[in-house]
């Protein structure tokens, strides 16, 4: 059964999982401190860096395992709002987006897909979380769906009870402002089993697994 998984979602002590304003210069909206302990080079495997294999890296490396499609919010693709300008923008990743699968970008403004040689295809889709998930599942060939963020998309999928697995890492920083993850999700823990561990870097990792219905 195809699961919906969130990986490597970082949150500050004060509950923010992105900055307020995404710009071309600040892809993560001024929330850089969230990513200071993240090693994005290992999302395809711990062997991709000549660095110690830490528990942090091991957990980060689950990102690509058995994933057949990604869903992301529009701001993870680019800082534009409203109608898409004719600016040639193809995302933050230039010619090598790391996804290598179909990617469904949630937007009210549909447009033609963008296809890359490495298997990444950006689809721009308008619809509810559930509708977009159906499209992603159809494209994923029976594999899992990664919900790639940002926090607003994750919150929406959590509210609709569509998330099967969530790897969250609490970063020992305070941001003061940004996009909150937990708003309007009171009692969310009742639907999940939750394992927490701390690592030497100061991160606290939580693995949230949705409880099977009836259990």
Smallest distance, its own copies to C-beta of residue 87, A: 37
The answer to the question of residue 54 lying near its own copies (CB under 8 A) is yes
Smallest distance, its own copies to C-beta of residue 48, A: 7
The answer to the question of residue 98 lying near its own copies (CB under 8 A) is no
Count of Cβ atoms closer than 10 Å to residue 195 Cβ: 10
Print the binding letters for residues 108-147 with its own copies: x by CB under 8 A, - otherwise: -----------------------------------xx---
Interface of this chain with its own copies, residues 56 to 75, rule: CB under 8 A: 58-59, 61-62, 65-67
Span interacting with its own copies, options 31-39, 55-63, 87-95, 148-156, rule CB under 8 A: 55-63
Is 100 or 167 the residue whose CB approaches its own copies more closely?
167
- What are the residues whose beta carbons fall under 8 Å from the beta carbon of 11, sequence distance 6 or more? 17, 34, 151, 168, 169, 170, 171, 181
- For residues 72 and 136, what is the distance between their CA atoms, to the nearest angstrom? 11
Is 67 or 133 the residue whose CB approaches its own copies more closely?
67
The answer to the question of residue 189 lying near its own copies (CB under 8 A) is no
- Of the candidate residues 3, 41, 100, 191, the single one contacting its own copies (CB under 8 A): 3
Is 146 or 180 the residue whose CB approaches its own copies more closely?
146
- Of the candidate residues 13, 126, 193, 202, the single one contacting its own copies (CB under 8 A): 193
Is 33 or 46 the residue whose CB approaches its own copies more closely?
46
Q: What is the 3-state secondary structure (H, E, C) of the chain?
A: CCCEEEEEEEEECCCEEECCCCCCCCCCCCCHHHHCCCCHHHCCCHHHCCCCCCHHHHHHHHHHCCEEEEEEEHHHHCCCCCCCCCCCCCCCCCCCCCCCCEEEEECCCCEEEEECCCCCEEEEECCCHHHHHHHHHHHCCCCEEEECCCHHHHHHHHHCCCCCEEEEEEECCCCCCCEECCCCCCCHHHHEEEEEEECCCCCEEEEEEECCCCC
The answer to the question of residue 197 lying near its own copies (CB under 8 A) is yes
The answer to the question of residue 205 lying near its own copies (CB under 8 A) is yes
Which positions lie near its own copies, rule CB under 8 A?
1, 3, 5, 45-48, 50, 52-55, 58-59, 61-62, 65-67, 143-144, 165, 167, 193, 195, 197-200, 205, 207, 209
């Amino acid at each position: 059964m195809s699961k919906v998984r969130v990986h490597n979602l970082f949150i500050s002590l004060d509950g923010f999982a992105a900055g307020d304003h995404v710009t071309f210069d600040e892809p993560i909206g001024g929330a850089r401190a969230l990513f200071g302990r993240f090693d994005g080079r290992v999302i395809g495997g711990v062997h991709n860096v000549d660095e110690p294999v830490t528990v942090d890296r091991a957990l980060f490396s689950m990102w690509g395992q058995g994933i057949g499609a990604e869903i992301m919010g529009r701001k993870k693709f680019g800082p534009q709002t409203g109608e898409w300008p004719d600016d040639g923008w193809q995302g933050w990743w230039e010619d090598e987006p790391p996804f290598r699968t179909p990617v469904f970008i949630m937007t009210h403004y549909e447009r033609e897909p963008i296809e890359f040689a490495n298997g990444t295809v950006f689809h721009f889709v308008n619809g509810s979380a559930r509708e977009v998930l159906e499209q992603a599942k159809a494209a994923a060939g029976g594999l899992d769906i990664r919900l790639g963020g940002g926090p607003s998309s994750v919150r929406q999928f959590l509210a609709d009870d569509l998330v099967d697995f969530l790897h969250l890492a609490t970063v020992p920083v305070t941001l003061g402002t940004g996009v909150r993850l937990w708003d309007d999700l009171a009692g969310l823990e009742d639907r999940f089993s939750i394992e927490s561990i701390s690592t030497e870097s100061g991160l606290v990792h939580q693995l949230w697994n949705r409880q099977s219905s009836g259990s």
